Amino acid sequence: MIAKDFLSIKDFTPLEIRFLLALARQIKANPSTYSEALKGKTLALIFEKPSLRTRVSFDVGIHQLGGFSLYLSPAEINLGKRESVYDVAKNLERMVQGIMIRTFAHRIVEDMAAYAAIPIINGLTDYSHPCQAMADYLTMWEIKGKVAGLKVAFIGDGNNVAHSLMFAGAQLGADVWVATPPGYEPKADAAEWARERGRETGGTCTVTHDPVQAASGADVIYTDVWASMGQEAEAEARRAVFLPYQVNAKLFGWAKRDAIFLHCLPAHRGDEVTNEVIDSPGSVVYQEAENRLHVQKAIMLELMKDAAVELPELARVAELARV
């Protein structure tokens, strides 16, 4: 087993990240091979934040692996208020075989993993969105044939999506650029970790305030909403600050001619991205969204499988992957 939990892409080796991507690709190509791999297993889905793609992809994914899901709404859990994280973890570990949690503070998923004897999967926190980044790089690999050496430009808010994009890029040897307005940069510790890991893999991490510099010669242009969940009160003020960072045809034109456009969705069309970009031939946002299903199936399978379930040997699959 790679690890007990999937909390952050930082927690793994480059080889392990490559293995999960290769496994996701195998599952996507041969879904019936894994249709009973988690037979009888139950995954609890804890949602402190609403979702479309996370809810559907985990729900459908566990069923396609032969297991079951149990949706738990904020009203039923209300972590830290109605019931402590410790008590939720100790109760659920006796009834289900894994927990996916989509919440606010990253500390909550860390505490859940520390308290629960079963696997914990981070479906999103304010600090990171690791399943999304795995889907992002699976999409790049499918379209570009590789990840190492790609210039990946994230333009917008230095948020949880930007953090995980930097982490995964560093693991896989990509050159990640993050362009934000002054004061909206990614966390300094996140950028520093990505630079340190990049020294081992050949990847780089560059933070700038110049969106044209980031987009110039890029293989991938990525953006996200300017105001994330919990920041709705700042939306109007943020719009004025971020408007020069809108991904429109002019900005996208600085990228390579065969560049692709990514967005974690939901998109606020006319704000962070224009219709002419998100609906263009270079946009692969729906392939990217579908890939959430496949990478999460790989993560669930690796974390929740019984010892009797055999998967391809890690090093062999990852080497063959040539991600």
Contact, 199 vs 239, CB < 8 A?
Answer: no
Q: Which one of 102, 106, 238, 294 is the catalytic residue?
A: 102
Phi, psi of 21 (to 5 degrees): -65, -40
Q: Which one of 26, 132, 171, 246 is the catalytic residue?
A: 132
Same domain, 145 and 262: yes
Same domain, 182 and 154: yes
Integer Cα distance of 243 and 241 in angstroms: 6
Same domain, 78 and 111: yes
Residue 246 annotated to the active site: no
CATH code of the domain containing 50: 3.40.50.1370
**Residues 194-250: pLDDT tens digits?**
999 999 999 999 999 999 999 999 999 999 999 876 777 788 899 999 999 999 999
Residue 294 annotated to the active site: no
The pLDDT value recorded for residue 231 is: 72
Same domain, 231 and 115: no
Mean pLDDT for the chain overall: 93
Mean pLDDT of 154-169: 98
Q: Which one of 18, 25, 53, 129 is the catalytic residue?
A: 129
Residue 11 annotated to the active site: no
Asked if the model's pLDDT at residue 83 lies above 90, the reply is: no
Residue 102 annotated to the active site: yes
Residue 224 annotated to the active site: yes
The pLDDT value recorded for residue 308 is: 62
Look at residue 96 and tell me if it is in a domain: yes
Q: Which one of 106, 264, 271, 294 is the catalytic residue?
A: 264
Q: Note down the domain range covering 124.
A: 9-128+292-309
Same domain, 143 and 181: yes
Going from the C-alpha of 14 to that of each of 105, 146, 161, 203, 226, the distances in angstroms are: 26, 14, 19, 11, 30
Task: Work out how many domains the chain is built from and give that number.
Answer: 2
Residue 238 annotated to the active site: no
Same domain, 230 and 143: yes
The model carries a pTM of 0.95
